[in-house]
Amino acid sequence: MTLAVIAIGRNEGARLEACLASLQGRAARIIYVDSGSVDQSVATARAAGAEVVELSADRPFTAARARSAGYAQLKTGEMPDFVQFIDGDCRVAEGWLEAAQAALAADERFGLVTGWRREIHPEASIYNDLCHDEWDRPEGDILTCGGDMMLRPAAYEAAGGFDATVIAAEDDEFCVRLRAAGWKMRRIPHEMSFHDAAMLRFGQWWQRAVRSGHGFAQVGHMHPPYFAKEIRRVQIYGLVLPVLALLGGLFAPLLFWGVLALYGVNYLRTYRGLTARGMAAPRARRHSVFLTLSKLPNALGLLLFHWRRLKGHSMQIIEYK
């Protein structure tokens, strides 16, 4: 079996160096795609022996565009049996590449396998810890996965590759088409990658939540009813209730307090769901605050997508670090 790795990044610094170091000697080809970095990312990748693709600034940078460009570079040589995609802020776990290849080789129905992504420093901030919990998903057959994945070239081709215009949740969008093409996906019980969110400020978390809302709206618009439940929650808790709270504050105090009570109910529901999964109560309380609050920046992302769509504007990247 032969393997190639496509890593993507933008201004990842030491994170990219760790990513490429974790791949040394473990793949026939390593391709790094850079999205307009102004640090030493390109030089770092070349020094590590990777093939480097530098994206031009004539079109918006997106993770989907970078992955597509990496795959196009891959096709300039002999195609491998399997392709691993990895983000430049992640390092690959020991044994993952071998385990993933074995899983794909064992069952030809599966076009893609993924594993467990872990946050490197969940203790550094509540925002990193939120990511750590976000990555923690059960093993087994899945409907979607994140950007770190190993797949068969045949499955990638059948799905049509990544859509470069999708700026967030591009992995969800790709997986929708992969399933439509008849392929199955699985999360195997093996650590796959160690991620460095590096979110230490509230503003970074807020911007990431805006990006998530944009992703809900864009992918939901492309593949209805995908993300319908998430969009409905954002519409209620991020748009309708804030407007009602404003009106209540101005004209009807009972309405204002009623809206606050609804947010309180949402917080308690979230808290109970987290503790039912086994999360410790203090951690669940912290997470519930941000998961409840996240509907506000999500709503901004939703509105931004539809504003761009109606104006015919391109979907520009939303960065949080």
Listed by start position, the domains of the chain span: 3-199, 203-311
Return the closest-CA partner of residue 285 out of 274, 296, 297, 277: 274
Q: What is the CA radius of gyration of the chain?
A: 20
Q: In percent, how much of the chain has pLDDT > 70? A: 100
Q: Cβ(147)–Cβ(296) under 8 Å?
A: no
Helix axes 202-222, 126-135, angle to 10 degrees: 30
CATH class of the domain comprising 3-199: alpha beta
Dihedral through CA 25, CA 28, CA 34, CA 38, nearest 10?
30
pTM above 0.85, yes or no: yes
CB crowding 129-149: b at 16 or more within 10 Å, else e: bbbbbebeeeeeebebbbbbb
Q: At what angle do helices 170-180 and 202-222 cross, to 10 degrees?
A: 30
- Mean pLDDT for 48-55 is 97
CA dihedral of residues 197, 6, 82, 145 (deg, nearest 10)? 30
* Whole-angstrom distance, CA of residue 257 vs CA of residue 269: 18
**At residue 305, does pLDDT exceed 90?**
yes
CA distance linking residue 136 with residue 109, whole number of Å:
25
Q: Which residues pair with 149 in a beta bridge?
A: 85
Buried b (16+ CB within 10 A) or exposed e, 253-262: eebbeebeee
**Residue 161 confidence (pLDDT):** 97
Return all residues near 266 (Cβ < 8 A) that are at least 6 apart.
237, 292
**pLDDT tens across 72-111, in order?**
999 999 999 999 999 999 999 999 999 999 999 999 999 9
Spatial separation of the C-alpha atoms in residues 239 and 233, rounded to whole Å: 9
> Which stretch of DSSP H or E encloses residue 285?
helix 281-293
Percent of the chain surpassing pLDDT 90: 97
Query: Which of helix, strand or coil describes residue 17?
Result: helix
Residue 135 tokens, joined: 């990555």
Distance CA 290, CA 239 (A): 17
The pLDDT value given to residue 46: 97
**Residue pLDDT, tens place only, 179-230:** 999 999 999 999 999 999 999 999 999 999 999 999 999 999 999 999 999 9
Pairing of strands 82-87, 3-9: parallel
Strands (E), the chain: 3-9, 29-34, 51-54, 82-87, 90-92, 110-119, 140-142, 149-151, 184-195
Q: What are phi and psi of 176, to 5 degrees?
A: -60, -45
The angle at the Cα of 97, spanning 91 to 98, to the nearest 5 degrees, equals: 145
pLDDT over threshold 90, residue 66: yes
**Burial class, 264, CB count within 10 angstroms (exposed 0-12 / middle 13-18 / buried 19+):** exposed
pLDDT value at position 320? 87
CA 4 to chain centre: 21
Residue type, 253: P
Q: Whole-number mean pLDDT of the chain?
A: 97
Give the pLDDT band (50/70/90) at residue 321.
confident
Q: How many residues does the chain have?
A: 321
Q: Where are the alpha helices (DSSP H) in 22-169?
A: 41-47, 63-74, 96-106, 126-135, 153-159
State mean pLDDT over 157-178: 97
